[in-house]
Amino acid sequence: MQTYAYGFPRLGKNREYKKIIENYWKGRSSEDELQMNINWLDKERLSTYKEYVDKFPVGEMTLYCNMLDTAIMVGLYDCKDLHGYYSLCRGKNALKLTKWFNTNYHYLVPEFAGFSPSNFTMRWNKPKEALQAHKKGIPYLIGPFTFLKLSKGIPERRFGDYLFNLIDVYKEIIRDFDEVHIDEPAFVTDISEKDIKFIKDAYKRLDTGNICLFTYYDSVDFLNVLYELPVKAIGLDFLSSEGNLKYIEKHGFVSDKYLIAGIVDGRNVWKTDIEWATNRLKHISKFSRNLVVSNSSPLYHLPITIEGEKLHRRLLKRLAFAKERLYELKLVASCLEGDYNEDYNAVVDDFGMNKKVRVCVKNLSPRDFEKEIPYPERATRQKKLLSFSLFPTTTIGSFPQTKEIREKRKDFKRGDISKEEYNSFIREKICDVIRFQEDSGLDVLVHGEFERTDMVEFFALKLRGIATTKNGWIISYGTRGYRPPIIYGDISRPKSMSVDEITFAQSLTKKPVKAILTGPITMIAWSFVREDVPIREVAYQIALCLKDEIKDLERSGIRIIQIDEPAFRERAPIKRRNWNEYFDWAIKSFRLASKSNPETQIHTHMCYSEFGEIIDEIKELDFDVISIEATRSKGDIIRYFKERGFNRQIGLGVWDVHSPDVPTVEEMKKIIKKAMKFIPKENLWINPDCGLKTRGWKEVVPAIENMVKAAKALRDELH
Ligand code: GLN
Ligand code: ZN
């Protein structure tokens, strides 16, 4: 049986990708050097594939984003050089970044406004170039349907025109190859009959006979149509849901195509049960004689390798990252030929198990998810205690993580400075930021999150049952990586996690300091999560830890607590029919965590996602205040909140923190005035779109100043 792998991470074992590109940005290397180094890195990648599997794509490497590369390839953008390329990726004229399906990987959104479908032309034959890197590889492309669906600015009624014109360009690009790898993950979304027809007609025109078509992240609801397409092979995900298997069991598979069966996990880190996978493949082979074994989704959702990780022995032996997945493919293939390897076992034993935690979750009753006092009454009580004027101003939590802070953290980790020294440094920073916020006239202060590297990893380090890695980086967007923690056991909180810093901050000021916690859904979405218990239980375990944390904070005199849930929308399943189940546990976990004193004002924060479609679910969270990003839509997003009868307080984001530009007072006022059309002014707060950790003080100072001015000006105008 042949093995095929794709999506192997481009980051490099020691994050070489980041270094190579950022060096160029900093002017430390030339365009040629960048190219040379990236080619070297890609060679390394390809040789890893080659070591383990029979086939793999070439040309997956990109200098920033494959969606952008596709756009350039087909003539949407004209980039003369790397400078032009990177100006589309970052800086003032950058394209918008958005999450790729339901993952935390982001892509640049191609903008079609002003581009006519007749303008498509082949500007660049990237696959042909890529083939030079490895003669035996299969050229890689994002499929035309997925590419257009994820772009913006294409009028719905003209989608077909764009697609068919684009197809002609694709044909030109791919016709000379023996085989091409085409990714169409958009095929697993909820697709209309009209779109199915487009797909059918488009691919019929693309009858080059050499296409290996890949779908992943979920099952395809119109496999019957895929069967009819003139493609050579179809890649299906057999892990994320049962849909594909069920269809094949019922209707079989087509005899004239290869079935590329995704059976080792591209999205989670648990070792494959080789025996199970082998049996599953044997079962699938009853329906298709031409079977190839593969990963279930691209491997770039995983870190490169477990080699060198210093995790507990009993945990380490459960794990497989990207390189280990390649090995598993090899193992499964040889197992199918009757060659068993006894040493490679996916064991789940009682390591990390905590009976007490399980009992707590088991004993939860409906009351644990309900607030005792409804919002209107809570709001009245809180108002009495907090007595803000109109348009209270606040921030989302983090303040600039400067070079100085990062250096100090490194010193501390290396053991160059003591814990006491590090802590007193953090305290100094807290003092500074409290003074700054008081001087600026902000109403609700924060402690700045200087002690946190990452909002998920920070809490993961403090909780039992969650491990963090040394080098388990994955790309979030561009060159930016993060290390998802690994939730492997029952989760408990040995001691308070945030109380020290926050109560210290509160001791410095009479104004309320808002405590910032990361919510259960975001903890889960940005970690690798165990699969031996239902995800709902994992969420409740985290929620119970947060609930205890909130109690501790309340006891220490904290009156405002924000639970960040930026991944609330992203974590939702791709198919709507699975939403109810997800939102049920997602909402309940938030409610469980936030069942606090009615006098404690509970905030939540969400940003950079499509809220329009989930306002009803957001309402169910039963918080008191939500802060959201509103700058890009210039406040228009609030319209949806009104439409759905939202009656809580909203903190409007009036400053896009991804941009280095400082917004003016007028710009901010405009957003607030727009929002006032939809939401009573008494319910509006003012804040930046998100945390300020990636910004510099030179923007933060004037922007916060303008924010406070905007609030004051509006108060004056209204009195
Ligand atoms: N409290 C976090 C911060 O201010 C929120 C980050 C986020 O929403 N992604 O950085
Ligand atoms: Zn945010």
pLDDT above 90 covers a percentage of the chain that reads: 92
At residue 659, the pLDDT reads: 82
Residues in the chain: 719
Where residue 275 falls among pLDDT bands split at 50, 70, 90?
A: very high
pLDDT above 70 covers a percentage of the chain that reads: 100
Where residue 366 falls among pLDDT bands split at 50, 70, 90?
A: very high
Average pLDDT over residues 232-242: 97
Residue 592 phi, psi (nearest 5): -65, -45
- Ligand 1, atom 8, residue with closest C-alpha: 566
Where residue 610 falls among pLDDT bands split at 50, 70, 90?
A: confident
Average pLDDT over residues 445-465: 97
Q: Are 301 and 265 in contact (CB under 8 A)?
A: no
Q: Which residues does 60 contact at the CB level (< 8 Å), separation at least 6?
A: 6, 7, 8, 10, 45, 66, 140
Whether residue 291 is predicted with pLDDT greater than 90 in this model: the reply is yes
Distance of alpha carbon 172 from its chain centroid, rounded? 34
Alpha-carbon gap, residue 654 to 636, rounded angstroms: 12
Q: Are 526 and 520 in contact (CB under 8 A)?
A: no
Q: Which ligand is nearest to the CA of 608?
A: 2
Pocket test for ligand 1, best of 516, 564, 655, 704 (most atoms within 8 A of CB): 564
At residue 97, the pLDDT reads: 87
Catalytic residue among 134, 603, 605, 658: 658
At residue 342, the pLDDT reads: 72
At residue 701, the pLDDT reads: 98
Identity at 262, one-letter amino acid code: G
Whether residue 92 is predicted with pLDDT greater than 90 in this model: the reply is no
Alpha-carbon gap, residue 385 to 424, rounded angstroms: 32
Domain ranges of the chain: 376-717
- Asked about 181 being catalytic, the answer comes back as no
Q: How far is the CA of 567 from the centre of ligand 2 (A)?
A: 9
Alpha-carbon gap, residue 197 to 225, rounded angstroms: 9
Average pLDDT over residues 518-532: 97
Q: How far is the CA of 691 from the centre of ligand 2 (A)?
A: 6
Average pLDDT over residues 71-84: 95
Q: How far is the CA of 608 from the centre of ligand 2 (A)?
A: 7
At residue 607, the pLDDT reads: 83
Q: How far is the CA of 396 from the centre of ligand 1 (A)?
A: 6
Ordered alpha helix ranges (H), 374-511: 375-386, 403-414, 419-440, 457-462, 499-507
H or E stretch including 204? Answer: helix 193-205
- pLDDT tens, position by position, 666-699: 999 999 999 999 999 999 999 999 999 999 999 9
Q: Hunting for tokens 């599953």 — which residue is that?
A: 280
- Specify whether the backbone of 454 is left (phi greater than 0), alpha (psi in -120 to 50) or beta: beta
Whether residue 94 is predicted with pLDDT greater than 90 in this model: the reply is no
Q: Please state, rounded to an integer, the average pLDDT across all residues of the chain.
A: 96
Considering only 126-135, 229-238, 464-473, 518-527, which range has the smallest mean pLDDT?
126-135
> Closest ligand 1 atom to the C-alpha of 606?
8
- pLDDT tens, position by position, 220-231: 999 999 999 999
Average pLDDT over residues 207-236: 97
- pLDDT tens, position by position, 554-604: 999 999 999 999 999 999 999 999 999 999 999 999 999 999 999 999 999
**What are the CA-CA distances from residue 315 to residues 307, 318, 537 (Å)?**
13, 5, 20
At residue 460, the pLDDT reads: 98
Mapping DSSP onto H, E and C, the string for 584-642 reads HHHHHHHHHHCCCCCCCEEEEEECCCCCHHHHHHHHHCCCCEEEECCCCCCCCCHHHHH
**pTM as predicted:** 0.96
- Ligand 1, atom 5, residue with closest C-alpha: 691
- Ligand 1, atom 10, residue with closest C-alpha: 691
At residue 443, the pLDDT reads: 98
Residue 211 phi, psi (nearest 5): -90, 125
The DSSP symbol for 301 reads G
> Closest ligand 1 atom to the C-alpha of 605?
8
Distance linking the first and last C-alpha atoms of the chain? 77
Fold observed for domain 376-717: TIM Barrel (3.20.20)
Alpha-carbon gap, residue 55 to 336, rounded angstroms: 18
Q: How far is the CA of 337 from the centre of ligand 1 (A)?
A: 50
* Helix/strand/coil percent split, the chain, to 5: 45, 15, 40
Where residue 612 falls among pLDDT bands split at 50, 70, 90?
A: confident
Whether residue 608 is predicted with pLDDT greater than 80 in this model: the reply is no
Whether residue 93 is predicted with pLDDT greater than 90 in this model: the reply is no
Ligand 1 first shell, C-beta below 6 A? 396-398, 449, 455, 516, 564, 566, 605, 607, 690-691, 693
